[in-house]
Amino acid sequence: MISCSILNESLANNMDKMIDDEMLVTQFKSGIQKAFDELMKRYERRIFSYLLRSVRNYEDAEELTLEVFFKAYRALGSWEPKAKFSTWLYTIASNLSIDYHRSKSRHPVFTFEDEDVIEKRLVATDISSNPEKQLEDKERGEIIRAAVDELSAKQKEVFMLTRYEGLQIKEVADTLGMAEGTVKIHLHRAIKKLQTLLQPLWENNEI
């Protein structure tokens, strides 16, 4: 048993470089718990960032991240790889995020700063009438994120997955259960809408 674990340590040290996700899944299925720890180590930050962008709240994002891995752990034994492991993980995260927003049934809450964010939201929509206003970087960031949250759920998902999670169109299609063409349409609309919403931020400056 001791020797098993020594081998196991040695195994873990080599996991980073040499084993791909799908091999780790196979290891996990054959009873090696550590393989799941390695998968978690590989993806916990990515899944957390993705959920943080989705729900805009640290505590909830952390809780949902745990939920993603809990569900993954429970389902992995019977999971048949039709797509990449990472895609499957994002599917779980995406579904949880949809449930989260459904249960909140309102706009994401900004807990990074203060409750006066709502006021800033109003400024964001009204900024064109105050073009002279110099925006602090912080405020600017909040306004921009508020614009991102104005996207439809699908537009935002597609935008986030391609832009920040590095997923290809095909992978996003697999993750969200959409046709590739549909993913592209959502992506184009998302970017177009961001352009329209954020126009007041730069229209006084020459680009």
Partner 1 sequence: MTKCKISEAQVIDYVIGALDVPSAAEYRHHLTTCNHCIRQVNVLKHVLQLVDTAEAEITPNAIVLTDLNSKLYRRLAEEPLQNASVQSRFTDFISRLGLILQLQKPAVVGLLAVVAITITLLVVNPFDNEPTFEVDQTESANARIEQYHHQGIQRSMEDVIRNKHLRQSDEWGTVSQLNRVKDQAKGTDWATLANKHLKGVSSKL
Full DSSP string of 2-53: HHHHHHHHHHHHHHHHH--HHHHHHHHHTT-HHHHHHHHHHHHHHHHHHHHH
Residue 194 found at the interface with partner 1 (CB under 8 A): yes
Q: Give the residue with the Cβ less far from partner 1, 3 or 82.
A: 3
Binding mask 120-139 for partner 1 (x = CB under 8 A): --------------------
CA separation, residue 47 to residues 53, 89, 138, 140, 163 (Å): 10, 8, 25, 26, 14
Query: Which residue type, as a one-letter code, is found at position 109?
Result: V
Q: Give the residue with the Cβ less far from partner 1, 16 or 99.
A: 16
Residue 195 found at the interface with partner 1 (CB under 8 A): yes
Determine the Cα–Cα distance for residues 155 and 150; give it in Å rounded to an integer: 9
- Considering only 21, 28, 39, 53, the residue that binds partner 1 (CB under 8 A) is 53
State the minimum distance, in angstroms, from the CB of residue 185 to partner 1.
Answer: 9
Place of tokens 């759920």: 153
Q: Give the residue with the Cβ less far from partner 1, 48 or 88.
A: 48
Residue 75 found at the interface with partner 1 (CB under 8 A): no
| 130-133 contact pairs (CB < 8 A, 24+) | 131/200, 131/203, 131/204
Q: Give the residue with the Cβ less far from partner 1, 82 or 93.
A: 93
Residue 56 found at the interface with partner 1 (CB under 8 A): yes
Determine the Cα–Cα distance for residues 46 and 180; give it in Å rounded to an integer: 23
- Considering only 42, 44, 84, 182, the residue that binds partner 1 (CB under 8 A) is 44
Determine the Cα–Cα distance for residues 139 and 103; give it in Å rounded to an integer: 28
Give the range of 65-73, 89-97, 100-108, 119-127 binding partner 1 by CB under 8 A: 65-73
Neighbours of 179 (CB within 10 A): 10
Q: Give the residue with the Cβ less far from partner 1, 49 or 91.
A: 49
CB 160 within 8 A of CB 54: yes
Determine the Cα–Cα distance for residues 55 and 96; give it in Å rounded to an integer: 10
Residues in contact with partner 1 by the rule CB under 8 A: 1-11, 14, 18-19, 27, 30-32, 37, 40, 44-45, 48-49, 52-53, 56, 62, 65-66, 69-70, 73-74, 112, 140-142, 144-145, 147-148, 162-164, 169, 184, 187-188, 191-192, 194-195, 198, 201-202, 207
